[in-house]
């Protein structure tokens, strides 16, 4: 029998979010394929959740802008603070070599992490994504129910219509920035 601890609930519109359910094995289980971290209760014990910005080092603030990587279609869901949100976008690698996405940051959020949602036996689970490879000449979509940026600890909750800057950091020391449109909590991919 699997034991689970459910850490809080909140409702946004007609959606019920379960911030996090922890199984006896320590994995995070979600009741909604969207985002569900709540206030991050218990997240500090999970790898990668104790850092301020996923994959960020002091050198990242001086990263040069990539001339081969482009980020398009960036948007985030407007959720009331302190609820975390998700960032969605498409990363295009116009270069001749694969590149690895190693982290992300935003001045609007105290913590940005790269996650992947997977579904198995009708249950969604979210886990921190390690280095994410974007193939040469290829693209990778970050979308609800798949890869996404987990945005936590907003300095001030963004409002629908605002634009939030998101920097994506790569293994070659470069970055790509995007202006992310803030959409309603019930927004879907266009």
Read off the pLDDT band of 188 (50, 70, 90).
confident
Length of the chain: 190
Would you say 168 and 179 are in contact if contact means Cβ atoms under 8 Å apart?
A: no
- 24 in a domain, yes or no? no
- 96 in a domain, yes or no? yes
- 149 in a domain, yes or no? yes
The rounded distance, in Å, linking the Cα atoms of 54 and 28 is: 18
The rounded distance, in Å, linking the Cα atoms of 30 and 119 is: 10
Report the predicted TM-score, pTM, of the whole model to 2 decimal places.
0.70
Q: Which domain holds residue 132?
A: 51-183
- 35 in a domain, yes or no? no
For the chain, give the percent of residues with pLDDT over 90. 61
Tens digits of residue pLDDT in 12-35 = 443 434 344 333 333 333 333 344
Would you say 22 and 3 are in contact if contact means Cβ atoms under 8 Å apart?
A: no
- 39 in a domain, yes or no? no
- 22 in a domain, yes or no? no
CATH number for 132:
2.60.40.1890
Classify residue 108 as exposed, middle or buried by CB count within 10 Å of its CB (0-12, 13-18, 19+): buried
pLDDT of 152 over the 50 cut: yes
Across the range 28-53, mean pLDDT stands at 37
Indicate the DSSP class of residue 34. S
Tens digits of residue pLDDT in 81-99 = 889 999 999 999 999 999 9
- 143 in a domain, yes or no? yes
Structural domain count of the chain: 1
Would you say 100 and 132 are in contact if contact means Cβ atoms under 8 Å apart?
A: yes
pLDDT of 56 over the 90 cut: no
Tens digits of residue pLDDT in 58-75 = 445 678 999 999 999 999
Both structure tokens of 145: 């129910």
- 18 in a domain, yes or no? no
């Amino acid at each position: 029998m699997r034991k689970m601890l459910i850490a809080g609930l909140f409702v946004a519109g007609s959606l019920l979010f379960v911030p996090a359910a922890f199984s006896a094995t320590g994995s995070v289980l979600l009741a909604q394929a969207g985002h569900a971290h709540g206030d991050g209760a218990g997240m500090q014990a999970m790898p990668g959740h104790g850092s301020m910005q996923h994959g960020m080092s002091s050198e990242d603030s001086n990263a040069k802008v990539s001339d081969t990587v482009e980020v398009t279609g960036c948007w985030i869901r407007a959720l009331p603070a302190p609820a975390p949100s998700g960032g969605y976008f498409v990363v295009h690698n116009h270069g001749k070599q694969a590149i690895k996405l190693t982290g992300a940051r935003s001045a609007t959020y105290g913590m940005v992490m790269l996650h992947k949602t997977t579904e198995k036996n009708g249950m969604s689970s979210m886990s921190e994504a390690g280095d994410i490879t974007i193939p040469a000449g290829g693209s990778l979509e970050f979308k609800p129910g798949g890869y996404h940026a987990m945005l936590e600890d907003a300095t001030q909750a963004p409002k629908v219509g605002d634009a939030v800057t998101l920097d994506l950091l790569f293994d070659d020391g470069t970055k790509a920035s995007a202006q992310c449109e803030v959409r309603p909590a019930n927004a879907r991919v266009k």
